[in-house]
Amino acid sequence: MPIMTESKGHQHPISLAISDIIGIFGSMGFEVAEGPEAESEYYNFDTLNIPKHHPARDMWDTFWLKSKPTEEDPSTSLGAGKNAKQLLRTHTSPVQVRYMESHKPPFRIIAPGKVYRYEATDATHEAQFYQLEGLVVGKNISLAHLKGTLETFFSKFFGAASTVRMRPSYFPFVEPGVEVDVSCFRCAGEAGKQCSVCKGTGWIEIMGAGLVHPKVLEGAGIDPHEWSGFAFGAGIDRLLVLRHGLPDVRLLYSGDLRVTDQF
Ligand code: YSA
């Protein structure tokens, strides 16, 4: 008689990666924060020092929502003078502001969650994907704290000792802003052009980050003369694609069991 094997369900690779990430940051004292996916323009842009008509808004192609905000929904009843126009959040950075408004520093949080962008898809871009936001606010926080935190995270996530380097970059909600590169976890720069991960550069471009802009702290009710902080934002899908050498980010959303069963 043929033996019938039962196929068991399991968590999706992205859910597994998020559990991993929460565990690693949890061991460094980070709590998990959440925010709504249907967000207001006020939190997605205005409070992050990105005024209307500012060219920086072009960095985030936006799906706007038609629905009118209702009084019952606390995420949309913003009060007089606040911009309640609704959208699908384009990044997890609004969670930073929501958290700062309702908590007193010091704190350290991560906010993993789904975000949406009105853009064409390709091997490295999806129209919906996951981001990981990080925020630390305390006394005398510097880029050195950011570097140490990320080196610990990458070493554990990629399973190889990691070094971080920063290059100047621009995001309206941080000053200074940086682009973070991590040393190649596959070859540490030794495999030359053969390395499929770093292509011989020894570095992988991985996320945006910086020191929280004083205007953002102040707008959220935190005195920037007393407190400072760092923040970062990475694509979880991209971290996963890198770690497992997937050829196309869209495979993660294809529903193809030949892909997801490998995790
Ligand atoms: C920057 C500074 C901070 O202090 C805090 C957060 C940030 C990140 C900022 N909010 C942001 O969204 N930057 S980003 O537009 O460059 O996206 C961050 C990461 O999301 C990228 O590095 C990439 O890994 C991922 N990403 C962006 N568009 C994507 C995507 N992943 C998949 N598909 C897309 N379409």
CATH number of the domain to which 111 belongs: 3.30.930.10
Domain range for residue 130? 22-35+89-260
Structure-token pair, residue 201: 């550069």
**Does residue 95's CB lie within 6 angstroms of at least one atom of ligand 1?**
no
157/193 Cα distance (integer angstroms): 24
15: in domain = no
Q: Dihedral of the CA atoms 41, 141, 100, 126 (nearest 10)?
A: 40
The pair of three-digit structure tokens given for residue 192, joined into one six-digit string: 């030359």
User: Would residue 51 count as lying in a domain?
Assistant: no
Structural domain includes residue 227 = yes
Angle subtended at Cα 111 by Cα 106 and Cα 116, rounded to the nearest 5 degrees:
145
Looking from the CA of residue 91, the nearest atom of ligand 1 is 12
Q: Are 85 and 40 in contact (CB under 8 A)?
A: yes
Give the residues across from 260 on adjacent strands. none
Residues 6+ apart with CB under 8 A from 116: 37, 63, 88, 89, 90, 127, 128
In-domain check, residue 12 = no
Number of independent structural domains in the chain: 1
Nearest CA to ligand 1 atom 31: 235
30 in a structural domain: yes
Q: Flag whether 245 is in a domain.
A: yes
C-alpha 150/C-alpha 143 separation (Å) is: 11
* Burial track 16-29 (b if 16+ CB lie within 10 A, e otherwise): ebbebbbebbeeee
Residues 6+ apart with CB under 8 A from 197: 184, 185, 186, 187, 204, 242, 245
Q: What was the pLDDT predicted at 72?
A: 46
Please list the pLDDT of the chain residue by residue as tens digits (263 residues): 677 788 788 999 999 999 999 999 999 999 999 999 999 999 999 999 998 888 888 889 999 998 665 544 555 556 655 668 999 999 999 999 999 999 999 999 999 999 999 999 999 999 999 999 999 999 999 999 999 999 999 999 999 999 999 999 999 999 999 999 999 988 888 877 788 888 889 999 999 999 999 999 999 999 999 999 999 999 999 999 999 989 899 999 999 888 888 89
For residue 231, the cross-strand partners are 135, 210
With a 6 Å cutoff on the Cβ, whether 108 touches ligand 1 is no
- The pLDDT assigned to 75 comes to 53
Q: Under a CB-based contact definition with an 8 Å cutoff, are residues 229 and 217 in contact? A: yes
Query: Is position 124 within any domain?
Result: yes
DSSP for residue 194: G
Instruction: Compute the distance from residue 184 Cα to the ligand 1 centre, in Å.
Output: 20
What are the contacts of 139-142 at 24+ separation with CB within 8 A? Answer: 139/106, 139/226, 139/227, 139/228, 140/228, 141/211, 141/228, 141/229, 141/230, 142/211, 142/228, 142/230
Residue 238 main-chain phi, psi, to 5 deg: -65, -35
| Protein residue closest via CA to atom 35 of ligand 1 | 125
pTM: 0.92
Where in the sequence numbering do the catalytic residues fall? 60, 91, 117, 131, 174, 231
Q: Is 1 part of any domain?
A: no
Q: Which atom of ligand 1 is nearest to the CA of 207?
A: 22
Give the β-pairing of 174-183 and 203-212. Answer: antiparallel
CA 109–ligand 1 middle distance (angstroms):
17
Main-chain dihedrals φ then ψ at residue 177, nearest 5 degrees: -105, 145
Question: In the structure encoding, which two tokens stand for residue 258, read together?
Answer: 């030949």
Residue with CA at minimum distance from ligand 1 atom 13: 208
- Rounded CA-CA distance 86/137 in Å is 28
Look at residues 99, 108, 66, 101 and name the one whose alpha carbon lies nearest to residue 85: 66
User: How far from 153 is each of 12, 76, 178, 222, 229, CA to CA, in Å?
Assistant: 21, 34, 17, 27, 18
**From the CB of 180, is ligand 1 less than 6 Å away?**
no
